[in-house]
Amino acid sequence: MSGNRAVAYIEPGVVEVQTIDYPDLEVHDGPGVDPQNVGRECRHGVIVKVLASNICGSDQHMVRGRTTAPSDLVLGHEITGEVIETGPDVEYIHTGDIVSVPFNIACGRCRNCKERKTGICLNVNPARPGSAYGYVDMGGWVGGQAEYVMVPYADFNLLRFRDRDQALDKLLDLTMLSDIFPTGYHGCISAGVGPGSTVYIAGAGPVGLAAAASAQLLGAAVVIVGDLNDQRLAQARSFGCETIDLKRGAPGEQIEDIVGEPEVDAAVDAVGFEARGHAKDAGEAPAKVLNTLMEVARAGASLGIPGLYVTEDPGGVDSDAQTGSLKMRLGLGWAKSHSFTTGQCPVMRYHRQLAMAILHDRVQIAKAVNAQVISLEDAPRGYAEFDKGASRKYVLNPHGALDRFKMAA
């Protein structure tokens, strides 16, 4: 095959569908590729026919121009597909397998991978620990918002579904395993959510909604979601969450109205560095969510922080924010003996058990995040609507495998 349709970042606010090279088992020079990765052979890799690839809020940060992403970077780190070619060193993954691709690229050989810290693999990104498909400063691995993509270290990275027909029947839910479902779940695990917990989740975007569904799966007594977007708050209520309208101000009093006290047992930041203040038309305040979580989490609580924070933000509100230096009330967190967990979710730590929850109908994650199937060619529209606050998780459908799940736009 000679071509491969893919979604590329062009400039702030602009993405387009391009024809790029069909992938092979080697890393080639291109936008964002680390020079030390160029020419890297991947005999351990496979070529995946992409059956579903999702637009993520992390992609949106790049598309808004809030990172140093280069023009023509192929996007997409949430990938589910069918293996159509295997490298000579692949032993356990076979042609025809339906697989989920964790967004973390991990070698399976380094110290961190052996300690199940696959979000900070030491061998796949020469610039820093940790890597991902189609993401700025993550090594330059080509993204999967495309028809085909190469996946390295396939035996280690891929989650294979044993029953092909069952996987295809659940494909719209299973595509959430590559990132947002494990990420939301990781936020809840990091925050100590368990049976009977009261939980506050900041942000009702797809990761926040996935965290809310995860909290319910973990047995939380009350799941409270806060946001400024009425449509997203309505989506959270649609599957049993309590909600807080942050246009009315800080969440403490509203939490007290729900649970009888202004504090919760566990708190999750599903917003990240583009956080805004708590008022109608409030401006950007990148540390606002973190400081609010310290206010509303009880003493001794843990904070899960799956929301993205970056080291370089060209659009930051001040010189500190532009380098990821935020004005956090660390003294408050110290005084309350809070624990913080940050960083990429190590997807492999959770994706198998979450797949079982999906396959055995213990959770309807696609419904919770309001998944919307669109064509690959419609990706620019999906990005534009998502940027305006649409309460949808856009799922790209390059080969028609999701046709049965299509809903009216």
How far apart, in whole angstroms, are the C-alpha atoms of residue 198 and residue 242? 11
The per-residue pLDDT for 2 is: 65
- What is the pTM for the complete model shown? 0.96
The per-residue pLDDT for 407 is: 56
3-state helix, strand, coil in the chain (%, to 5): 30, 25, 45
Evaluate if residue 365 carries a pLDDT over 70: yes
Nearest in space to 37 (alpha carbons), one of 142, 154, 156: 142
Evaluate if residue 264 carries a pLDDT over 60: yes
CA 163 → CA 84, 146, 171, 272, distances in Å? 17, 25, 12, 37
How far apart, in whole angstroms, are the C-alpha atoms of residue 23 and residue 47? 7
Q: How many CB atoms lie within 10 A of CB 319?
A: 8
Bridge partners, residue 83, by sequence: 48
| Mean pLDDT computed over 183-207 | 98
| Mean pLDDT computed over 55-62 | 95
pLDDT, tens digit (0-9, with 9 covering 90-100), for 73-89: 999 999 999 999 999 99
The per-residue pLDDT for 3 is: 83
| Mean pLDDT computed over 350-374 | 98
The per-residue pLDDT for 157 is: 98
On whether the CB atoms of residues 104 and 130 are closer than 8 A, the answer is: yes
The region, left, alpha or beta by phi > 0 then psi within -120 to 50, assigned to residue 151 is: beta
- All domains in the chain, ordered by first residue: 3-179+365-405 (3.90.180.10), 180-341 (3.40.50.720)
On whether the CB atoms of residues 367 and 172 are closer than 8 A, the answer is: no
In this prediction, residue 1 has a pLDDT band, given cuts at 50, 70 and 90, of: low
Structure tokens, 360: 């055995």
